[in-house]
């Protein structure tokens, strides 16, 4: 069996996770790492002494590699990914694929022209719990999905080049598109830049999907507690997926409300509240990044598109662009009429 020769570009926080997986996967041979920071190169070299390390990723083009994984800051993704594709390498690039849909389109086109795999690291599309969640929705167990609510908040890590939307929302947008199997038809966002005046650190994203399914994502770098939670409310049952839970990640609640048929005796608005059992499905957990890296290798070897291909990355960036536009312009807001008294005084005015 052919063993794919792989290089990793960027060995900061996330790159070493990609590297570890490519080292451990039998069909891959991680042979080189590039990072501008010598300290990071010393770190990976200590763990994997046989690795070739370099500060200049162009050196990787001389090694006869088949593919690269790029885990550098998002502002560098486009230039590095384009360079690698132009040198005939298959590319796995971290999320967000680029910082503009124009750039993402260029990469997709280039990969198509060269018949190369272009994949984006939408890790949650490979998460067994997210996949189980999709299966539960698709099975109809929850009934018609009314709405989805996601929360992805904690304290930090603040970024200085891009706002919280570009950093954290790629995960939620890719999860929502994946589990609902549809593209959103409308997007809006609001938020605040609390610590640095020009970089939003908290955002509330609103997405409208076909069939009147609405989704809301709260993302923040400024929250006392780490929360990673998705709630799906359906016409038959409700579900909560808590990614922080080590074992019991998904709970299905047999809870709901039914509107009773109209009777003349009791008036026309009678609701029946149902409080049934809670079921915790058994999910066999494998590291999502392992599944993602394997999908990259399989797609290169078998010439098949990966689950999160370049087009997937492009769609997410298109949604992020619109959401960011809404966030910056505040165009989802309707202002209340001006009053003579404001704030606390208004409460005491009467
Ligand atoms: N899929 C996930 O769950 C997940 C999680 C964390 C981060 N990420 C993504 O991974 C990427 C990297 O994030 P991070 O947290 O590791 O950032 P980081 O800042 O910790 O690491 C980035 C590394 O890239 C290096 N670098 C920058 N420009 C370079 C260049 N031109 N050539 C070689 N090296 C260069 C830096 O020196 C640094 O070591 C981002 O796109 C981020 O969104 C994904």
pLDDT tens sequence across 153-168:
999 888 888 999 999 9
pLDDT for 205 beyond 70: yes
Q: Does the pTM of the predicted model rise above 0.85?
A: yes
Which tokens hold the place of 334? 């309707």
pLDDT for 60 beyond 80: yes
Ligand 1: distance of its center to the CA of 71 in Å?
A: 4
pLDDT for 303 beyond 50: yes
The full length of the chain comes to 350
Q: How large is the average pLDDT for residues 111-126?
A: 98
Instruction: List ligand 1's pocket residues with C-beta within 6 A.
Output: 9-15, 34-37, 40, 57, 71-74, 76, 94-95, 121, 123
Residue 350: per-residue pLDDT: 45
Residue 133: pLDDT band by 50, 70, 90 thresholds?
very high
Contacts of 106 (CB under 8 A, 6+ apart): 78, 82
Which residue owns the Cα nearest ligand 1 atom 38?
12
CB 192 within 8 A of CB 218: no
Q: Report the alpha-carbon distance of residue 208 to residue 215 in Å, rounded.
A: 6
Which sequence spans correspond to the domains of the chain? Answer: 4-124, 128-288+321-329
- Token pair 């885990």 in the structure block, residue: 71
Choose the residue to mutate in 10, 20, 122 for probing ligand 1, maximizing ligand atoms within 8 Å of C-beta. Answer: 10
- 128-288+321-329 architecture in CATH? 2-Layer Sandwich (3.30)
CB 108 within 8 A of CB 310: yes
Ligand 1: distance of its center to the CA of 156 in Å?
A: 16
User: Using N-to-C axis directions, what is the helix angle for 101-114 and 310-329, rounded to 10°?
Assistant: 170
Q: How large is the average pLDDT for residues 250-273?
A: 81
CATH of domain 4-124: 3.40.50.720
Q: Report the alpha-carbon distance of residue 167 to residue 164 in Å, rounded.
A: 5
Contacts of 91 (CB under 8 A, 6+ apart): 67, 68, 69, 70, 81, 84, 85, 107, 111, 116, 117, 118, 119
* Per-residue pLDDT reduced to its tens digit, 8-29: 999 999 999 999 999 999 999 9
Which tokens hold the place of 234? 């359906």
């Amino acid at each position: 069996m052919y063993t794919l020769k792989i290089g990793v570009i960027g060995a900061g926080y996330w790159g070493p996770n990609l590297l570890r997986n490519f080292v451990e996967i039998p069909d891959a041979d991680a042979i080189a790492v590039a990072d501008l920071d010598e300290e990071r190169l010393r770190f990976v070299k200590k763990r994997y002494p046989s690795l070739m390390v370099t500060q200049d990723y162009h050196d990787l083009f001389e090694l006869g590699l088949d593919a690269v994984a790029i885990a550098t800051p998002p502002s560098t993704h486009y230039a590095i990914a384009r360079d690698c594709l132009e040198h005939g390498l298959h590319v796995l690039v971290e999320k967000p694929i680029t910082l503009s849909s124009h750039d993402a389109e260029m990469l997709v086109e280039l990969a198509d022209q060269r018949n190369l795999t272009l994949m984006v690291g939408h890790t949650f599309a490979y998460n067994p719990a997210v996949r189980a969640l999709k299966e539960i929705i698709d099975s109809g167990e929850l009934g018609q999905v009314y709405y989805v609510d996601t929360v992805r908040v904690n304290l930090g890590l603040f970024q200085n080049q891009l706002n919280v939307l570009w950093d954290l929302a790629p995960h939620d947008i890719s999860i929502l598109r994946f589990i609902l199997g549809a593209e959103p038809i409308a997007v809006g966002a609001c938020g605040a830049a609390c610590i640095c005046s020009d970089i939003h650190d908290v955002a509330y994203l609103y997405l409208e999907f076909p069939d009147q399914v609405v989704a809301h994502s709260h993302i923040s770098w400024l929250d006392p507690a780490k929360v990673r939670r998705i709630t799906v409310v359906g016409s038959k049952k409700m579900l909560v997926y808590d990614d922080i839970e080590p074992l019991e990640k998904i709970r299905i609640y047999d809870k709901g409300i039914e509107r009773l048929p109209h009777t003349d005796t009791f008036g026309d608005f009678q609701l029946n509240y149902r409080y049934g059992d809670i079921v915790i499905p058994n999910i066999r957990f494998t590291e999502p990044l392992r599944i993602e890296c394997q999908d990259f290798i399989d797609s290169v070897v078998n010439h098949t598109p990966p689950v999160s291909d370049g087009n997937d990355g492009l769609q997410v960036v298109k949604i992020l662009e619109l959401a960011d536009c809404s966030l910056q312009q505040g165009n989802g807001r309707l202002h209340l009429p001006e009053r003579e008294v404001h704030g606390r005084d208004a409460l005491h005015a009467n």
